[in-house]
Amino acid sequence: MCNYQFIDENRESEDVNDELPHSQSCSFQYSVENTEYRYNSCQDPWCLTLLTQNISSEGLGQKESTIRGCQSWLLHRALEVQDNIKLKSRAPAYVNLIKVLLKQPRCRAIVDPMTPIINGSQQACIDFSFQSDGSQKRAKLCCCRGLNECNQNVSWIDEGRQFNNSYMCSSSWIMLTLMISVALLLLSAA
């Protein structure tokens, strides 16, 4: 599998933190309401956790969902599920969560290079809200790098900040960026 994160990653000298590993094992799981699916850990420069919760008046706090994993694998899945009709019908909540993730900034934009290293990891979170199936939802997206499975214990109590919406990416812009990156990679290999 091609790892989009490594293709797009532009490691300028000031962005590289030599105190942290360039890749670590990330906890990889998906849970919705009371059902949890665990997968083998994945390896990536960025681990992430996306928490969502219903905040509409009816069903307040219900339909909680969480996805934890490697940024590159989850972005790969996000691009894959857009055309997967079978998955859309079998797991609509998962597909909707992946679509929300695709529209958010990448970990590199969320975790500032000056974010302090605490207990061997760098971590930052953003808080945002969105509409899904007629319900207002709140969300927290946290990214980390450093220790293995640094995304395992991320929760609602982790400090988050509001993210400037001008940095939000549309899926068409991401797709265009990926296609250009792949084309440049292929041209350089030829």
pLDDT along the chain (190 residues), means of 10: 44 50 82 81 90 75 81 83 74 80 91 87 92 85 91 86 49 50 63
**How confident is the model over 13-52, as pLDDT tens digits?**
344 455 666 778 898 888 887 778 888 888 889 999 999 9
In terms of Cα–Cα distance, which of 20, 79, 65 is closest to 47?
20
What is the longest distance spanned by two Cα atoms in the chain?
A: 58
How far is 106 from 118, CA to CA, in rounded Å? 21
The answer to whether residue 61 is domain-embedded is: yes
Residue 5: its pLDDT value, please?
A: 44
Residue 124: its pLDDT value, please?
A: 93
How far is 116 from 17, CA to CA, in rounded Å? 11
The answer to whether residue 148 is domain-embedded is: yes
pTM attached to this predicted model: 0.72
The answer to whether residue 48 is domain-embedded is: yes
Residue 124: Cβ-neighbour burial (10 angstroms; 0-12, 13-18, 19+): buried
DSSP 55: -
Three-class DSSP category at 88 = helix
The answer to whether residue 11 is domain-embedded is: no
Residue 163: its pLDDT value, please?
A: 59
Question: Contact 66/162 with Cβ under 8 angstroms?
Answer: no
Residue 33: its pLDDT value, please?
A: 74
The answer to whether residue 79 is domain-embedded is: yes
Classify the C-alpha dihedral 153-157-159-163 as positive or negative: positive
The answer to whether residue 15 is domain-embedded is: no
How far is 77 from 97, CA to CA, in rounded Å? 11
The answer to whether residue 16 is domain-embedded is: no
Residue 184: its pLDDT value, please?
A: 60
The answer to whether residue 117 is domain-embedded is: yes
Q: List C-alpha distances in Å: 130 to 3, 25, 27, 99, 175.
A: 28, 30, 25, 11, 22
Residue 46: its pLDDT value, please?
A: 92
How far is 55 from 39, CA to CA, in rounded Å? 29
Question: Contact 5/11 with Cβ under 8 angstroms?
Answer: no
In terms of Cα–Cα distance, which of 158, 106, 149 is closest to 127?
158
Which domain range does residue 97 map to?
21-189
Total structural domains within the chain: 1
Residue 20: its pLDDT value, please?
A: 64
